[in-house]
Structure 1
């Protein structure tokens, strides 16, 4: 008789642990109006090289670390095609930093400029093009 409350207690503890785990909501980061997007574009061209593995595993995480809490998330795109199948890919890669404050971003980049620029030679011979934009609207596709 005495063992029944122990099993009941253990079952309740297990249910509580499972409930805690399943109640945690996993959200995917997404852009929002009012945020800023820093796009780092790497134009394609003859004799251009780009080490995507290094960019993904070393360079972008390093720069992201310099941005601190201003960075909401980042993305990396690998160019795969142009406008038509006959067109070369216009950009071999594009990196995006989603931030909340452009002045804070510029300050962090300026403070770490030498490390960031010095690392570029480790993955590419392409001069990147930087574009900073304000996200004005994010609209999802609600069709089913």
Structure 2
């Protein structure tokens, strides 16, 4: 019985150690990626259709990015960081890509299609920030 317990503890410890290492490697693997943040500022009278954005718009843009795309995320704004202050952004879509050059080459020819699709989910002009993940 003691041997079974000892072996179980060893296996459990090994699993936790492996999981921790995997998580660390994933985070370290993001350093150097290009992050494209598409932010939709909140303002009175502005609208945003999250369902359309999640199911149609973002997958369309992701398709244009092809193998350069590592992942994308979608965030729905809930509140300001300061109580009783207006929400700064209604939504933020983020693309993580390997190469800014490949990103620009993919977006350039599809720019009109991407912009034309805005009317299907929002009346907000997005603010776009392209940055490099440093940590």
Give the TM-score of the pair, scaled to structure 2: 0.78
Shift of 1:32: 1.1
Q: Which runs of 5+ in 1 are unaligned?
A: 1-24, 138-144
Q: Which residue of 2 aligns with 1:65?
A: 63
Secondary structure of residue in 2 paired with 1:133: strand
Q: How many residue pairs align between the two structures?
A: 112
CA displacement 1:53-74 (0-9 Å, x = unmatched): 0000000000000000000000
CA displacement at 1:111 relative to structure 2: 1.2
**CA–CA separation in structure 2 for the residues paired with 1:113 and 1:98:** 18
Larger radius of gyration: 1
Equivalents in 2 of 1:82, 1:39: separation in Å? 18
Unaligned runs of 5+ in 2: 1-18
1:130 is displaced (CA, Å) by: 0.5
What does residue 93 of structure 1 align with? Answer: 91
d(CA) in 2 for partners of 1:101, 1:45:
33
- Give the 4+ runs in structure 1 shifted more than 3 A: 27-31
Between Structure 1 and Structure 2, the one with more helix by share is: 2
Q: Give the alignment partner of residue 124 of structure 2, picking from 126, 136, 144.
A: 126
**What's the TM-score, normalizing by structure 1?**
0.73
Quote the offset at 1:91 in angstroms.
0.2
